[in-house]
Amino acid sequence: MTDKKTGQPIPRNPTLGEKLRHLLISQEGVLFVIMLVSVLFLATRTDKFLTVDNLLQQGRFMTEVGLIAIPMTYIIITGGIDLSVGSILGLTAIVLGWTWQELGFPLELAIVTGILSGTLAGFVNGLFIVRVGVPPLIMTLATLALYRGLAEGISEARSARGYPEWFFQLGQGEFLGIPTQLWLLIIAVIVFGIVLARTRLGRALYAIGNNELGARFSGLTVNRHLLFIYTFSGFMAGVAGYIFVSRVSTTRSDMGTGIELDVIAAVVLGGTSIFGGTGSIPGTIIGVVLIQLLKNGLTLSGVTSDATIVVIGSVLIFAILVNNFIQSRREES
């Protein structure tokens, strides 16, 4: 079908069937199918896995990774990375506990101070990346050590405990039968998913990731956007730190160690290219859920923890291979 005047093909609107098919062979669609297959398989191995209680409990455990994975998706889409999120989580937790217990802040103020210090830590990352031009990998690798060191220095290896009852509502309580923090994650996923997919901010992030110079030459405020997402990353790591403390009832300086790798694994599994330019929040969240369910299901099936890691690694590679295969077939057709 071509336009008579210009000789150009006229695009027609896709039918519902085509749309469904398109959705199914999208990155997220493929991943979702892999997740369903994994869940069904795990359900046959143990009857403790596919229960409402267990699944909600897993939702509790994955909230921290999920919250941090949202800004990480933004950052990786721009072609950057933030390795310091685990240390920022730890720093936030320590500042929270320390200002409350040692400095005698009211607990509410201590929470705000903790999250603010996490936000500040992210802002410092962004400032050096944007103003001084330090590559994100180097900058956040440095602050990964620096912020953890700060946390340890402030805490002097003591842990803060003895929080009042209301403080545990977020990390251990429920609201309408669902773990409180899971509500927070669900809301954040919806809001920031829409922000990425539909707003000018989201568009700018994709543009920066595909061609930073081109984005700059189009008049986009590249530096401002980058500064924002690293600050946002610090903020979310701070919120995750607060939830973490509330969930485990204590504050220790090694909290969140290594969480950056879980987060990055989930983001990349979710179809975000490590080279920037592509990715989505739905993909990321499926990645987070898939990893958490595999961990839990395998453990419940009696698989040892060493073997669990091996299986998860294999599933990651498998998922990426299947996705690459389908996406390249799709490009050809």
Partner 1 sequence: MSDALLQLRGIDKHFPGVHALKDARFDVRRGEVHALIGENGAGKSTMIKIVSGVYQPDTGEILLDGRRVEFSNPREAHAAGIATIYQELGLYPELSVAENIFMGHAPTMKRFGLRAIDWEAMEQGAAALLAELNIHNLDVGAKVGTLNVGNRQRVEIAKALSLDAQILIMDEPTAALTESDVEQLFSIVRLLRERGVSIIYISHRLNEVFELADRVTVLRDGDYIGTQDVSATSEGELISMMVGRTIENLFPKQVAEIGDVVLEVRNLNRPPLTRDISFSVRAGEIVGLAGLVGSGRSETAQVIFGVLPAESGEILLNGQPVKISRPSEAVDHGIGYVPEDRGHQGLIREMTIRENTSMAVLELVSKNTFISRAKERVLANHSIRQLSIRATGPDQTANKLSGGNQQKVVVSKWLASSPKLLIMDEPTRGVDVGAKSEIHRLMSQLAAEQGLAILMISSELPEILGMSDRVLVMREGRLVGEFTREEATQELIAHAMMSATPAVTSDVGATL
> What residue ranges bind partner 1 (CB under 8 A)?
6, 8-9, 11, 198-201, 203-204, 206-207, 210-211, 213-221, 277, 333
Tell me how far, at minimum, the Cβ of 287 lies from partner 1, in Å. Answer: 22
Query: Is the CB of 220 or the CB of 265 nearer to partner 1?
Result: 220
Please state the φ and ψ torsions of residue 7, each to the nearest 5 degrees.
75, 10
Question: Which class for 209: exposed (0-12), middle (13-18), buried (19 or more C-beta within 10 A)?
Answer: buried
Tell me how far, at minimum, the Cβ of 204 lies from partner 1, in Å. Answer: 8
Query: Is the CB of 7 or the CB of 258 nearer to partner 1?
Result: 7
Q: Are 253 and 179 in contact (CB under 8 A)?
A: no
The SS3 assignment for 160 reads: strand
Query: Is the CB of 305 or the CB of 333 nearer to partner 1?
Result: 333
Query: Is the CB of 23 or the CB of 307 nearer to partner 1?
Result: 23
Residue carrying the six token digits 């201590």 = 110
Please give the angle made by the CA atoms of 237, 243 and 247, to the nearest 5 degrees: 140
What's the rounded Cα separation, in Å, for the pair 103 and 86?
24
Q: Which of 270, 272, 281 is nearest to 316 (CA)?
A: 270
Tell me how far, at minimum, the Cβ of 73 lies from partner 1, in Å. Answer: 18
Tell me how far, at minimum, the Cβ of 214 lies from partner 1, in Å. Answer: 5
What's the rounded Cα separation, in Å, for the pair 106 and 110?
6
Query: Is the CB of 54 or the CB of 327 nearer to partner 1?
Result: 327
Query: Is the CB of 46 or the CB of 223 nearer to partner 1?
Result: 223
The residues, ordered by sequence, that sit 6+ positions from 86 with a Cβ below 8 Å of its Cβ are 144, 148, 237, 256, 257, 258, 259, 260
> Residue 215 corresponds to which amino acid?
A
Distance set, CA 159 to CA 48, 93, 148, 195, 272 (Å): 34, 10, 15, 38, 37
Query: Is the CB of 220 or the CB of 269 nearer to partner 1?
Result: 220
Tell me how far, at minimum, the Cβ of 275 lies from partner 1, in Å. Answer: 10
Tell me how far, at minimum, the Cβ of 229 lies from partner 1, in Å. Answer: 16
Tell me how far, at minimum, the Cβ of 74 lies from partner 1, in Å. Answer: 15
Query: Is the CB of 166 or the CB of 217 nearer to partner 1?
Result: 217
Distance set, CA 328 to CA 93, 126, 155, 176, 188 (Å): 44, 35, 51, 44, 32
What's the rounded Cα separation, in Å, for the pair 39 and 291?
11
Tell me how far, at minimum, the Cβ of 276 lies from partner 1, in Å. Answer: 10
Q: How far is CA 94 from the centre of its chain?
A: 22
Tell me how far, at minimum, the Cβ of 192 lies from partner 1, in Å. Answer: 13
Query: Is the CB of 71 or the CB of 90 nearer to partner 1?
Result: 71
